[in-house]
Chain A
Amino acid sequence: MSERKPLLEVDNVTLRFGGVVALDKVDFTLYEGEILGLIGPNGAGKTTCFNAMTGVYMPTDGAIRFRGQQISGKKRHKITKMGIARTFQNIRLFPEMTALENVQVGADAHNRGSVPSAMLRLPRFWQEERRGIKRAEELLEFVGIKGRTHELARNLPYGDQRRLEIARALATDPTLLCLDEPAAGFNPAEKVALLELIRKIRDSGVTVLLIEHDMRLVMGVTDRIVVLEFGKKIAEGTPAEVRDNPKVVAAYLGVPDAA
């Protein structure tokens, strides 16, 4: 495993909100091409960690590096341009735009050019526009909601909204895709389909960070797992290793930690 290239390093990150320590010296590395699960009981700091990794919060201490470059303190659209994309736990689409337009917003990130270029250099503008639409259509097909292309996001069924959010995130051409509880509210059949989609995303060359509550889902799809509890990392390893770790079992079952 040592020859694998680190993609994202969470280096001793501490995050305090006033007196509350949300993350306490959390330290782990995400390698290129893997699916890493970040799990933990409610309030363990998963989403906080996730937000720090996508630039929403600035760590109080420690550093987060993406391909060796510091991302803490960078503007969010810059972090996106570096190649990190995310979805939200509670879906946050642009409700009054069509599915296609939602994905286009993500795809627009690579198109350059300012107001004058949109108004004056018309051929290039149309070319970019056509390319964006084509890419957006491909992604809608990739996540399996091609039939919804021209429907408003707010009118889509719940499961399709989740898929649309993934397509939108993929449209920014990320090297790393962070999924925040993508299976929340899914039935078993939908979860199986989601697992397939996550694998497909990884096979297309995107590294995946998965935050998930559902242990079985995480076990089934991830290469490695990091477990958080009360803002601290309590375990890290393959799904099998983590499942047999007594600390993890205790954290999930609420048994007081013997150690």
Chain B
Amino acid sequence: MDFSELFRNFPELTTTGLTQGAIYALVALGYTLVYGVLRLINFAHSEVFMVGTFAAMWTWNALGFNQNLSPSGVLISAGVLIAGLLAAVAVSSATAVAVELTAYRPLRKRNAPPLAFLISAIGASFVIMEIIGIATDRAPYGNMPELVSNKPLFTILGAEITPVQIVIVVGALVMLVGLDWFINNTRLGRGVRAVAQDPDSAALMGVNKGRVIGLVFLLGGVMAGVAAVFANLKYGFTKFNLGFLFGLKAFTAAVLGGIGNLRGAVLGGLLLGLVENYASALVGTQFRDLVAFVVLIAVLMFRPTGILGESLGRARA
């Protein structure tokens, strides 16, 4: 236990933790949205995130930018970043919807038991992972331009803040607030909440359940696509199996905050990011991944439904 290390680097650890947590939160939302409506853990969601990282990277490469050639000027960088963002969002959401249409919808039509969905989810996850694995020779890819600077911009309370961190945290915040608004204030969001709270009476009120389900997969895919670009900015590297551990941690974050609860997923993501960073300073980086799951078990022992509790309906605080 190295407390001096923790205290000395506390501000730095906090900003890194929040940045990482923001990405977890975005991915966690995908798990929580689908769970809230279908009571299903969409294990293929980790791959929805992974394909987004490749989509963004290849788009940047196609535009002529790579690790040796970054665009110059803020405007061009922003344009390239947005192009990658659009590509990642499009590919991730298309993947998410494709998984729903091929792996889950046919099972629902035949009234399959919950276990069948779980196996189907794991199967879909492996199929996507292997396709990308084969297409990329299972190699790590770091061929990404530096679109947002990683150099400290200013210092707050001893923590150096980089533009990447600002872009990720602000960007994630915009997405989270936007999603929250969408679910709480639009007709489609009302439909999502109605199905989450009582699917049968929602159908009788004219809510098209199939469409609501498609919508939550789509929204989860959009969030995962944005998260994928942020992960590229932060790590500058991706691999066909990147989604596995990352997805597990985002899932952990969703359960930690209370699965099915949007704000819970955000809270869980941020918390997990912070705890991971504090813990690696305290007990060593090699324990980083272990800590995430120990925290999950510890929290669930005391609050089995997560910190904020279950239910998408309870999205309002």
Residues of A within 8 A of B (CB): 54, 56, 75-77, 80-81, 85-86, 88, 92-97, 101, 104-106, 108-111, 113, 115, 118, 125, 128-129, 132, 168-169, 171-172
Assembly CA distance A19 to B208 (angstroms): 33
The reply to whether B193 and A108 form a contact with Cβ atoms under 8 Å apart is no
Residues of B within 8 A of A (CB): 186-188, 190-191, 193-194, 197-198, 200-209, 215, 218, 311, 313-314, 316
Assembly CA distance A235 to B175 (angstroms): 61
The reply to whether A92 and B201 form a contact with Cβ atoms under 8 Å apart is yes
How far does the Cβ of B203 sit from chain A's closest Cβ, in whole Å? 4
The reply to whether A86 and B188 form a contact with Cβ atoms under 8 Å apart is no
The reply to whether B205 and A118 form a contact with Cβ atoms under 8 Å apart is no
The list of the 10 closest CB pairs from A to B, nearest first, reads A109-B206, A96-B313, A80-B206, A76-B203, A94-B197, A92-B201, A108-B187, A106-B205, A105-B194, A77-B208
Question: Most chain-A CB neighbours within 10 Å: which of B201, B204, B316?
Answer: B204
The reply to whether B187 and A168 form a contact with Cβ atoms under 8 Å apart is no
User: Which residues of chain B have C-beta atoms less than 8 A from A169's C-beta?
Assistant: 205
The reply to whether A94 and B194 form a contact with Cβ atoms under 8 Å apart is yes
Q: B316 contacts which of A92, A96, A106 (Cβ < 8 Å)?
A: A96
The reply to whether A80 and B187 form a contact with Cβ atoms under 8 Å apart is no
User: Which residues of chain B have C-beta atoms less than 8 A from A108's C-beta?
Assistant: 187, 190-191, 205-207
Assembly CA distance A209 to B194 (angstroms): 25
The reply to whether B206 and A94 form a contact with Cβ atoms under 8 Å apart is no
The reply to whether A129 and B187 form a contact with Cβ atoms under 8 Å apart is yes
The reply to whether A77 and B206 form a contact with Cβ atoms under 8 Å apart is yes
User: Which residues of chain A have C-beta atoms less than 8 A from B204's C-beta?
Assistant: 54, 76-77, 80, 85-86
How far does the Cβ of A117 sit from chain B's closest Cβ, in whole Å? 10
How far does the Cβ of A8 sit from chain B's closest Cβ, in whole Å? 16
If over half of B's interface residues share one DSSP class (helix, strand or loop), that class is named, otherwise mixed; here it is helix
Assembly CA distance A132 to B205 (angstroms): 14
Question: Most chain-A CB neighbours within 10 Å: which of B187, B193, B194?
Answer: B187
Assembly CA distance A160 to B202 (angstroms): 19
Q: A115 contacts which of B188, B200, B201, B208 (Cβ < 8 Å)?
A: B188
Q: A77 contacts which of B197, B209, B316 (Cβ < 8 Å)?
A: B209
Assembly CA distance A113 to B204 (angstroms): 19
User: Which residues of chain A have C-beta atoms less than 8 A from B188's C-beta?
Assistant: 115, 118
The reply to whether B205 and A101 form a contact with Cβ atoms under 8 Å apart is no
How far does the Cβ of A121 sit from chain B's closest Cβ, in whole Å? 12
The reply to whether A97 and B194 form a contact with Cβ atoms under 8 Å apart is yes
- Knowing A80-B204, A109-B206 are in contact, say whether A96-B311 is a contact too (CB < 8 A): yes
User: Which residues of chain A have C-beta atoms less than 8 A from B202's C-beta?
Assistant: 94, 105
User: Which residues of chain A have C-beta atoms less than 8 A from B313's C-beta?
Assistant: 94-97
User: Which residues of chain B have C-beta atoms less than 8 A from A128's C-beta?
Assistant: 187
How far does the Cβ of B257 sit from chain A's closest Cβ, in whole Å? 17
- Knowing A77-B207, A86-B204, A115-B218 are in contact, say whether A97-B197 is a contact too (CB < 8 A): yes
Q: A172 contacts which of B186, B191, B205, B314 (Cβ < 8 Å)?
A: B205
The reply to whether B207 and A97 form a contact with Cβ atoms under 8 Å apart is no
- Knowing A94-B193, A96-B313 are in contact, say whether A118-B187 is a contact too (CB < 8 A): yes
Assembly CA distance A85 to B208 (angstroms): 15
How far does the Cβ of B317 sit from chain A's closest Cβ, in whole Å? 12
- Knowing A94-B197, A115-B215, A115-B218 are in contact, say whether A105-B203 is a contact too (CB < 8 A): no
Assembly CA distance A95 to B202 (angstroms): 12
The reply to whether B198 and A94 form a contact with Cβ atoms under 8 Å apart is yes
How far does the Cβ of B11 sit from chain A's closest Cβ, in whole Å? 38
12 A-B residue contacts at CB 8 Å? A75-B203, A76-B203, A77-B207, A92-B200, A92-B201, A96-B313, A96-B314, A105-B190, A109-B206, A132-B187, A169-B205, A171-B205
User: Which residues of chain B have C-beta atoms less than 8 A from A56's C-beta?
Assistant: 200
User: Which residues of chain A have C-beta atoms less than 8 A from B191's C-beta?
Assistant: 105, 108
Q: B205 contacts which of A80, A111, A113 (Cβ < 8 Å)?
A: A80
Assembly CA distance A41 to B188 (angstroms): 41
The reply to whether B197 and A95 form a contact with Cβ atoms under 8 Å apart is yes
Name the residue on B nearest A92 (C-beta): B201
Assembly CA distance A56 to B202 (angstroms): 13
Assembly CA distance A86 to B205 (angstroms): 9
Assembly CA distance A23 to B100 (angstroms): 37
Assembly CA distance A109 to B98 (angstroms): 26
Name the residue on B nearest A76 (C-beta): B203
- Knowing A92-B200, A94-B198, A129-B187 are in contact, say whether A168-B205 is a contact too (CB < 8 A): yes
Assembly CA distance A115 to B188 (angstroms): 7
Give me 6 other A-B pairs in contact (C-beta within 8 A), A54-B204, A88-B201, A129-B187 excluded: A93-B201, A96-B193, A106-B206, A108-B190, A108-B205, A115-B215
How far does the Cβ of B258 sit from chain A's closest Cβ, in whole Å? 13
Assembly CA distance A236 to B205 (angstroms): 30
User: Which residues of chain A have C-beta atoms less than 8 A from B215's C-beta?
Assistant: 115
Name the residue on B nearest A171 (C-beta): B205
How far does the Cβ of A162 sit from chain B's closest Cβ, in whole Å? 14
The reply to whether A96 and B197 form a contact with Cβ atoms under 8 Å apart is yes
- Knowing A101-B190, A115-B188 are in contact, say whether A172-B206 is a contact too (CB < 8 A): yes
